[in-house]
Structures are given as C-alpha cells and as structure tokens.
Structure 1
Amino acid sequence: MERKAEKERVCVTGAGGYIASWVVKFLLSKGYIVHGTVRDPSDEKNSHLKKLEKALENLQLFKTDLLDYEGLCAAFAGCSGVLHVASPVPIGPISNPENFTQEELIEPAVVGTRNVLSACEKAKVKKVVVVSSAGAVAVTPNRPKDRPMDEECWSDLEYCKATQNYYCLAKTIAESEALEHTKKSELNIVTVCPSFVFGPMLQSTMNGSCLLLLSFMKDGGESVKNIVYPVVDVRDVAESILLAYENPDAVGRYICSAHSIQAQALAEKLKSMYPNYNYPKSYIEDEKDVELSSEKLQSLGWKYRPLEETLVDAVRNYEENGFLVEH
C-alpha cells in the first residue's frame, strides 16, 4: 500500500479495541491524521493509544459512543474516511439474554451503524469501511457442501435467533443494512468480515477471541468440542481494513480469513511449542465444518502471515502481560 503524500484525516470508531488499535497504529505509521472515538479518553484502557508512534501530533481522541449521533458528527468532522470498527463482543455466558441482546448487542451494532452512516453523510465523508464478522456469513443450517463459503453467503437471521446467537444476528443485520445503504446514498461503503482473530494485543484488557486462545492453554478442560476454527491474525485484519479503504477497486463485502484449524490440532500445535501449559484432555467430534474463502480480498492484494507466527507472537504477548504463567 502506498504511503499518503498529504495528510488525510480518517476516523476510527472504538479506537481502543483489539482490532481498532492496530488500525490506528498502521494509519499513524502511514502519515494519516487520525480521529478515534472512545467512551472515555482518560480511561487507562485507552492509554496505549497515546503511546503509539506519531500519536502525540497526529491522533485526537473523541469522547463518544455509537448511540451518540452528535458526538459521532463531531468526531467525523473534516475526515475523508471512517473505519467503523466498534461493536460490542460478548465475553462469557449471557446471564439475561433478552435484555442483553437488545440493549448491549443489537442496539449498538445496528442503531450504532445507522448513526455512523448518517453522521458520515452529514460530515461529507467520502468512504466508509464497516467491520462486520464472518459471523454474518457462516451461521446458517444451509451451508454449501461442495465449496467454501464466499461473499454471497449470509447468516440466517431466524437460525441466529433460534440458536440465541445474538452477536451474529446483530452483525448480520448491521452489515446488510450498511450495504443496502449504498443504494440510496453517495457514500462509498465497503465491509470486511474477519473470522476468529488471534495475535498480539496493543490494549491492556482481554477481549473475546484472545480469551478463546488463552482457554486452550489455561483451562485444561476435560472435553472440548473439536470444531473447526477459521482464524486470521489481528495485524492482517488491520491491513485488510486499510486495503479496503485505500484501494479504489474495493467494492461490496470481503471475507477476511487465513487458516482453518480444528480445536485439537490447534491445541497440539500450541503444546508442541509450549508444553508447560494446561491443555484440554479430550475432544468431542463435531461435524460443523466451516470453510471460508478470502479469494476476493486476496485479489485486491491482501496477504496473510503463517499461523505459527500469529501463535508465537500472541503467546509472547500474553506472557509479557501476565495473562499466561507456566506451570
């Protein structure tokens, strides 16, 4: 990707999050002036952003959230692009699903995306990249049997509801609305759908997909479902978001996934490199096979790193931050 000759303003929503922090880091390194939305700029969990190279002169944080339309308008003012990364991800079991779905997942994801697009129009933003999820692609009882899932595939809303998969429900509604919005707007909207995102964290607080990887090394469960995980490195996701933004040929939606690996193979790979952690003891076979195609994204020039590099960098990061302690 080419370095920007002039300073262009881009806003990243949810700037302190796992993926968004890497997006901010890469934007700053390429010479962009970056606006970032966070709930509280003074919160310690956002302090890592201020330590990024060039942050002092080129990063401005705005106190707002996805349901604060006026706050979003202020953050987007003067920006030619918006990278909408913010979205709540549940960690652990949901104690009150009915309440949680509406207030904590669906409203921020769906109403939040509507607010972002409306604020973009008001600020005369030229291009928006909406970060969706492979969860908006693959949650359906009618997966193709003879080919990988591609951008034509969508999660089934009724199936998401029936299986109480509210995160994927919210992501599917929000992404489909965003792409539908392009038909009635001059906004150039592209969506990126990452699978399970692993790799090193810039932020100090744990997120859902990092907890998943940690669980393989810490929990030592008696039996774990041997499901297939489509995975991608967080840095490669951040690069894909910048690619979708900068490349004028980018159109529609893009699946962002690099590798597929079963739970047992993942645990054994980790155990071969790091034998002194507490791995699952047995596995229950699971027939829910998910294969995703990132051919469309690769045709834009996207490349991804080896899985081993992702795992090594992630584990080193967890150890340095005290999330992993050898037995």
Structure 2
Amino acid sequence: MSENTPRMALGTMHFGTRLPETRSREILDAYLDLGGLWIDTANCYAFWGSETGLGGQSETVIGQWLTDRGVRDRVRISTKVGAEPTRPHSFPDAVEGLGKDTVHRAIRDSLHRLQTERVDMYWAHMEDRAQTIPDVAATFGDLVAQGLTARIGLSNHPAWYAAAANVNAQQRGSARFSALQLRESYLHPRPDVPVEGEDHPHGMMTAESKDLAGRCDVELWAYTPLLTGAYEHPERPLPEAYEHPGTHNRLAVLRKWSDRLAMKPSQVVLALLNAQQPTITPIVGVSSVAQLSEAVQATRLTLPEEAVEELNAAG
C-alpha cells in the first residue's frame, strides 16, 4: 500500500439496488482513479432493497465492473457470509448462518458473482451460536488453505469470540481471523440503550475490541462511521441512544475543529478514526463521486496532535 492510498474501504451496500448500476460503476471508476484499494461488500447486500427479498446485487455489479475494466489486480475485495436470508424477506428469523456446508457454498457463489477466483478478505458477517467456535475457526481456516480467500475476519462478533477462535486456529495451525469489522464513529450511544436499526447485539466497537486489536495484531474496520450523514444533515436525527450529554459535548468540539481546519465535520471524523491507536479503517458508503472525493481527501489528512487529543478527550 502506497502512502497515497486512501486509508479507507469503499462501502458498496446499496450498489445495484438503491444506487443503480450506472451510478455504482461511476463511483467504482472514481475510487480506482483516486488510488482506492479495498472494496467492501457482502453476499446479502442488499436484500432489504431488492424486490426479490434476497441479496447478491452488490457483488454482481462489482464483478461485472472488475471484468469490464480488467482491474482485478488493482483492488482488494472484501465480502461476507452469514446474514443472507434463506427465504425472501425472512431476515432475521431465517438466515444462512455459518455452518461449514453453507459457508463453502456461499463463498463459491460470491466468487461467481464477483467473477474472480478468490477474495482478499472473507468475513463471518454475524454470530451463529448454533456453531461451535472450533467449527467456525476450522471452516474459515479451510477457505484460506484452499486458496479461496487470502484472509478471514469477524464482523459483529465480540472480542472474546475472536480471541477464542484465534487460540483454536493457532492450536490447529490454520489461518487466524486477522480483522474485526464493527460499528464505530466519533459519537457513541449509551451502552444500556439499543440503537435503532442495529441488528447485531455485539456490533458496536468497544474498548475491549480495541485492546484485543492492539495487543493481538488484529485490524479494526469501522462501518457506519458517518452515522448515515447525521454529522452534516440535521434533518437526519441521530437514534435516541445517542441522546446524552457526551454527544452534545463531542459535537461542540467537533464543530470547533471543523471550523479551525476548514474541513467538513465528516472529514474530521474520518481523519480521526485513522489517527487512533490502533488505527481504525473506516468503511465509507457514498452516493456520489463528490462525496467519495471528500472522503478520500479526509483519509489522506493528518490531524494536528492537539486536535486528536481534544477530540478524543471530549465527552
């Protein structure tokens, strides 16, 4: 990865559904031109936006773009398994889960849609407590051994699960989970209040997951880093769980540094995630090339040390 590579992943959740294929390809083209590397998707994207009630649209758009542009060697593809409904419109009551046969079938289906022989990161999208940790670790480790993915990660799993799975992988001599994908932003909800629209009970990034990442060489990826535009669009209110004094204090400091640095609040947030220790890679979903350009610019910026300290201490 060069110094000019944006320190982010492009989120493609709505490609092929809410965002039509033409717009999706424009964003992919621009991301490539801007030096982007990681493209993040999932086999279930976006079943809730499709008349079929099933996913696969995002992978299909990306796969056709990769083939048409001939640029597979210039990007890294990240996709997921575990949250696709087993019947149309059946989430969350009936989802595929992480059983061995399901995962092996799902990755081959994803590779077919993506028109590639392997992906660069394959995530367990959500917990499946019906499977044992050793079984899940073995299932995903086998995918690396078979050359179907370069790396494996856990999305929406607690830190203790990742630690236990990696101990098991070490004992087996197989690939370990080298990344955690969780919800994280500058603002944080109250821990005792459910976040509206958040389907994963262990989806929030915590101090424990950050500690695990820093001590055990595990990357952190953050989804919903910009809270669906709430930092700059007052017409998009934050979920009730964010209504507490810490939010107001943090927003005041964010506005201060946004004005001082002549950056949008969302750009400060992205730069701040990159500045954390351990570093957090934001997954940024956009609906226009202009939004993408602003996000890429932000991830290339280095915030003043004073800004990082004051923003982190606020609240």
| TM superposition score normalised by structure 2 | 0.37
Structure with greater strand percent: 1
| TM superposition score normalised by structure 1 | 0.36
